[in-house]
Amino acid sequence: MYRLDEFMADLERKNPAEPEFIQAAREVVESIIDVVNDNPAYVHAKILERITEPDRVYSFKVEWEDDNGDVQVNRGYRVQFNNALGPYKGGLRFHASVTLGSLKFLGFEQTFKNSLTTLPLGGGKGGSDFNPRGKSDNEILRFCRSFMTELQKYIGPNTDVPAGDIGVGAREIGYLYGQYKRLQAENTGVLTGKGRSWGGSLIRPEATGFGSMYFAEEMVKAHGDTFEGKRVAISGFGNVAWGAAMKASMLGAKVVTISGPDGYILDEEGVNTPEKWAYMVALRNSNNDVVAPYAKRFNAKFIPNRKPWEVKVDMAFPCAIQNELNLDDAKTLVANGVKYVVETSNMGCTADAVTFILNQKIPFGPGKAANAGGVAVSGLEMSQNAMKLSWSEEEVDAKLHTIMKSIHSSCIEHGTESDGYINYVRGANIAGFKKVADAMLDLGY
């Protein structure tokens, strides 16, 4: 029998100074501990110890030259968390906040998320503390080359398939893949998020945002409600926020905010035209990491140094980074009558914010369910690469839609409480866990 406090104290002892990993692990373990204790096979197999320990972690030095001719040194990582269900799969994050602990949290989350997608994908994550802000295109190229020179030793199309994440978009995937091909002399699906003409899948750029809106649409339907006319707050303005703003608008909602590290945009007209969406991409690609210019360009309001959660909305979608929505933000949203909160970033809400929202019985979509569309379409990109063919936009979008509906059904199956409240956190954790744990039992140790 496992006891939550004992298990978590031990995990903290083994993983000191990794608060994000502990936060992610605690949330999952809290959800699944009864399921584990009710199954002697899980207890006997030490499933909790095994599922919270990454299979392996690579840490490497990345040396590159900046535009002044100075040598720069960063640290690169790849965390191969769990491959019970398939090759390690998960993004690469280039961001100043990257540490081993943050990548362990992301690799851990990815394992359960990938399990929920229904596709044969294990979980991994990687990245670097390289900060793309203010870097030139040539500096990014040189960094990517050096990073891949090391990373290529540990990945492969049937072993570990990285993709993008914060700070890694189509440009970086191109530079990384170019270097991989130089070193390995082969065209394989070793990365996803590739460009359309060199092995990429249609809909992959949009997939995380689209998927989170498909998931939210199912949540809304399950509560006898509709998307039409909902006021929506989105944070961020990058790869994920972009797709989310597009699909929310297409579904009839009005997105009134986007945000950056410098503050947020309040656009009462709605972030709802192809011109505005294209501008978000251009802003992101400029590497300045500020959202303020949008206000000038489209005659919207810019509120410096604040987060969008103070705006009165029906639905809130954190789409930027972990722990971007805290307890105070959650209280403000609830006081303003928010009806749904859907994490589109990984662990976008702090633990106390999640607990507060759940206690208010407000439907809350956790990241590992709601944002799984991105990695799901990465899985579809791998299938297309393996078959050496490409599916149409309609085919990929239809598959993505089916996958998001199936994730929603899994949450209902495992998360519906006696009073009828759908606890999506519990549902996603149990459904994601069971598949991985059962595979681990089948595979032995």
Q: 403: closest CA among 172, 210, 187, 185?
A: 210
Tell me the per-residue interface mask from 295 to 334 with ligand 2IT, x by CB under 6 A, - otherwise: ----------------------------------------
Strand order through the sheet with 231-234: 301-304, 263-266, 254-260, 231-234, 315-317, 340-342, 364-365
What tokens were used for 433?
């866990």
What is the gyration radius of the CA atoms in the chain, in angstroms? 21
364-395 burial code (b ≥16 CB/10 A, e <16): bbbbbbbbbbbbbbbbbbbebbeeeeebeeee
> How many residues in the shown chain lie near ligand 2IT by CB under 6 A?
11
CA 294 and chain centroid, separation: 25
In the bound state with ligand 2IT, the residue whose beta carbon lies nearer, of 307 and 368, is 368
Amino acid at 208: T
432 binds ligand 2IT (CB under 6 A): no
Q: Between 146 and 208, whose beta carbon lies closer to ligand 2IT?
A: 208
Phi, psi of 323 (to 5 degrees): 60, 30
User: Segment contacting ligand 2IT (CB under 6 A): 31-39, 358-366, 373-381, 401-409?
Assistant: 373-381
Rounded Cα distance, 329 and 424, in Å: 20
Smallest CA-to-CA distance from 124 within 100, 112, 108 is with 108
Active-site choice (89, 104, 113, 125):
125
**Measured distance CA(285)–CA(289) in Å, rounded:** 9
Residue span 95-124 as binding mask against ligand 2IT, x where in contact by CB under 6 A, dash where not: ---------------x--------------
301 catalytic residue (yes or no) = no
Q: Are 36 and 48 in contact (CB under 8 A)?
A: yes
Q: Is residue 397 near ligand 2IT by the rule CB under 6 A?
A: no
168-207 positions binding ligand 2IT, by CB under 6 A? 192
Judged by beta carbon, residue 109 or residue 314, the one nearer ligand 2IT is 109
Q: With beta carbons less than 8 A apart as the criterion, state whether 192 and 201 touch.
A: yes
Which residue carries 């207890």 as its tokens? 43
How many angstroms separate the CA atoms of 69 and 423, rounded? 54
State the nearest-atom distance from the C-beta of 148 to ligand 2IT, in Å.
16
Comparing every residue's Cβ against ligand 2IT, the nearest one is 91
Near ligand 2IT by CB under 6 A: residue from 86, 91, 189, 209: 91
Check residue 366 for interaction with ligand 2IT (CB under 6 A): no
Does residue 251 interact with ligand 2IT by CB under 6 A? Answer: no
Nearer to ligand 2IT (CB atom), residue 86 or residue 90: 90
CB nearer ligand 2IT, residue 208 or residue 423: 208
- Name which of residues 127 to 166 contact ligand 2IT (CB under 6 A): 163, 165
- Return the range that interacts with ligand 2IT (CB under 6 A); candidates 269-277, 312-320, 370-378, 424-432: 370-378
Examine residue 24 and tell whether it contacts ligand 2IT (CB under 6 A).
Answer: no
Residues contributing to the site for ligand 2IT (CB under 6 A):
89-91, 110, 163, 165, 192, 346, 374-375, 378
Active-site residue set: 125
